[in-house]
Each structure stands twice: as structure tokens, then as C-alpha cells.
Structure 1
């Protein structure tokens, strides 16, 4: 069982690293790849078309600006794609978000929030998808949620 973490350039790694951290915590295997939708179109198509044969069950794709990477991957595979919009200086990630979320009918891309929170949620969403067919991942998610709840409850102590 594998997840592919795909980013358009190395500058996206600080955001994608947040996804990797969540997957590490949940003991989910993943591969990291840089595939630029604009500078590596043939490579993108080849990767996407072979994703199922390479045993990827979810692709998480982070991109900023025009953010075509998640949609182009989704257009070339039936493996579920989760798009992570990366923050941009000029439009604060709104450009990335709209580029990813506004997919035409027939080519879905699940889209999470801009930046680090979205990157972490992408890891959790991938885990939930995988957990539907893998009880060990499902149980790790149950524990993860329980720990989150306990941390929130303990934070009340800081108010005293």
C-alpha cells in the first residue's frame, strides 16, 4: 500500500513535508517525487498512467500558482488525487486553491486547505481512504483522533 507525494518543484517540499510527517506518524508508506506539470508533461503523463501498476492507492499533489499538477495527474489516472494548494506571495494561495478546486465534471480532485493545515489534512484524508480497506491503518487513525481530543482537553490546564 503506497501513497505518492508529488510536488511541482523542490520549493513545495516544506509544505509537503507536513503531509509526510502525518503519514510517518500513521506508519503509511509513501514515495516523494518532483514532477512539474509545465516543465515535465511527458513524465507527468507516464507517472500518472502507471500509478496503479506501481501500486499507488492515493496521489497527493501539491502545487502553487497556476497549480495544474493535481488536475493533470487526475486527468491521466483513476487513482484518487488529493490536491494541496501551496501558499503564493502574490495571491496568498487563492490562485492555487481555485486552480485545484475548480475541476471540470468527470475529473475529480479532492482539495484541502491552502498551506500546512491542508497538507496535514491531505495525509489524514489519504489515511482515511486507505483505512477503509486496512484495519491496522483504521485503528491507528482511531488512536490519532483520540490523542488529538486528549491534547485539546489538556490544553484547558493552560487557562488556569
Structure 2
């Protein structure tokens, strides 16, 4: 099971992509708002009880100062995947990216690209797939689908540009 938390409900439009990927891989998840700044005691309780409640990974999305992923990682021993969110008060998202990315040694947070909650969901599945063969098999199928999708695009482009596309391969 994966916990998906976000600093505000306004982050849901980004974080729902993580939920969609977990649904795709048939992984149970919970989703809630946990603000590092507005509900710090809720954050501490959530992070400190996450493992005992059966969570295996936490995906934490936050914008602006984006302290949620790092503070949760400081409390739990579970892997935490940070999703920097470009919020309305953000400086082009860089404040969120750097707040999550620049963790001190000893408190790691896996960080995906700005607004890349889909990748966070895939990374959570990969972590779970290390000990769950059904998820591992689903990940193999997913990678094969990605490959097939690109191969189909190559075929289409080759048909559209028969004299000039893909000459080097």
C-alpha cells in the first residue's frame, strides 16, 4: 500500500496522476492532505504511524517551500518520493524542486520532476515490485507497452517521410 499525501487540496490536479498509475498497477493506496506548515502535528502522526499501518512507500507532493516530503522522510524509515508542485505562490516551480531535492545527507527523498506525479507512481510501483511478483510483471508489461508505443510512432513517421526518416538506424 502507498500513501499519497499533498500539502493542499489544490495539489490534487497534479497528484491524481500518481493515483492513476497505482490503479494501473493494481496497487492499493490512500490519498489525503497533510500540510507540513498548517497541520504539523497531523504530519508527524501520519509519518510516524505509516509503516505500522502497512504503508510501504509515501509519495508526498508540495509546492512553494515544499517541506512536506523532507519532513516526512525525517520521521519515517519508509521510502519517500517527493513531487515538486508548481503552485500559485511558486517561483516557476524552482522553489519546490530545490526544497525537495536539496535534502541533507541522512534524510533522502527520491525526487521526480516538477509536476511529475505519474513518475512518482511508477517509482512507487518499482519499489513495491522488488518484493511483489504481480507488480513486477505488470511493470514489465508497462515497459513493453512504452516500447511498442514508440515503435508505432517510428513506423508512422517512416511512412510519412520515406526518403528522409531514420536513415541512420
The alignment's TM-score, normalised by the length of structure 2, stands at 0.90
Name the CA distance, whole Å, in 2 between partners of 1:92 and 1:25.
30
Name the CA distance, whole Å, in 2 between partners of 1:139 and 1:52.
25
State the Cα deviation string for residues 14-59 of structure 1 (Å, max 9, x = none). Answer: 1001111111111111000100100100110011000111100000
Gaps of at least 5 residues in structure 1 are none
Out of 150, 153, 161, the position equivalent to 1:152 is 150
CA contact (8 A) 2:60 2:68 kept: yes
Q: How many residues align?
A: 157
CA contact (8 A) 2:79 2:109 kept: yes
The alignment's TM-score, normalised by the length of structure 1, stands at 0.95
Is 2:57 the counterpart of 1:51? no
Name the CA distance, whole Å, in 2 between partners of 1:88 and 1:44.
20
Gaps of at least 5 residues in structure 2 are 161-169
What secondary structure is seen at the aligned counterpart in 1 of 2:136?
helix
Looking at CA atoms only, which structure, 1 or 2, has the larger radius of gyration? 2
Q: CA deviation at 1:87?
A: 1.2
Moved over 4 A (4+): none
Counterpart mapping for 1:72-151 below 5 A: 72-89=71-88, 90-115=90-115, 118-151=116-149
Counterpart mapping for 1:18-29 below 5 A: 18-29=17-28
Name the CA distance, whole Å, in 1 between partners of 2:130 and 2:141.
15
Q: Using a 3 Å threshold, how does the CA distance of structure 1 residues 92 and 158 change in structure 2: closer, same or farther?
A: farther
